[in-house]
Amino acid sequence: MELKKLFLKANNELEYGEVKVKSRRVVCKKCQKQIPVYKIRKNDFVCPECGHYFPVRARRRILMLTDKRSFIEHDRDLESINILRFPDYDEKLSLAKERSRENEGVICGVAAIGGYRACIFAMDANFMMGSMGAIVGEKITRLFEYATSMSLPVIGVTVSGGARMQEGMISLMQMSKVSAAVKRHSNNGNLYIALLTNPTTGGVDASFAMLGDITLAEPGARVGFAGPRVIEKSLNQELPKDFQKAERVLECGFVDLIVPRSRQKETLTAILRLHS
């Protein structure tokens, strides 16, 4: 008889640490059903009942797409400042840092994907809706410049409401700044894969999000420039139900492939293998 069988296991979760708490639940916005958190995590943050895609933090996204313990972060200490002295911007930055536990709205670095080395950046909707300010543009630009110097492909995961209004023209300048870095990266024969997630809108959609050599998207992701309500009021007519959805954008030729979350790493690995 094994020695460990002589001892009884603790009969509660606090004493017996190996038991995972499975009582915590969240309500799916689409099907309105209460789903245990562990089931959502196990299913790549997709509702197992209706297939609704839950938002994913940038750091979690990178872990899902890259090989284990291969990610090395770049420029983590860069932070935005209230250069225009915009009212309440300092407070909003502090709140965004607290909510997202990040210094800025994008995480950049180098990792391996399926054994292939690549640069990767992921935007974080928890930091002021992934808005693009001067530091977001600077971090992505630096990543493309590093990838160009090292002849590495770039994987970009976008989620954003657009340019950051609190930084005015400075935020709009990031559109051309990052686009120029993407062009230099491309001119050197390097690959850029954009993965559009919900939502990818505004100045990000109008610049580097749509400049990928290969453009992928998650199912149901909203992709567009202005919001549907703004467009509807401008046109003074009702918009189609699938307006700005990834499936419709695919039909219009702006997206190459819609990839379910469970197959994204596999798809990226296949593309990197073809272009290695």
Six-digit token pair at 150? 């090292």
Taking a C-beta distance cutoff of 8 angstroms, is the pair 89, 137 a contact? no
31 is in an annotated binding site: yes
Taking a C-beta distance cutoff of 8 angstroms, is the pair 162, 207 a contact? no
Taking a C-beta distance cutoff of 8 angstroms, is the pair 121, 139 a contact? yes
Nearest to 107 by CA among 90, 122, 96: 122
252 is in an annotated binding site: no
108 is in an annotated binding site: no
Distance in angstroms (rounded) separating the CA atoms of residues 156 and 196: 8
Long-range pairs for 223-232: beta carbons < 8 A, 24 or more residues apart: 223/196, 223/199, 223/249, 223/254, 223/255, 224/249, 225/201, 226/201, 226/202, 227/201
28 is in an annotated binding site: yes
Binding-site annotation, residues: 28, 31, 47, 50
Binding site members for Zn(2+): 28, 31, 47, 50
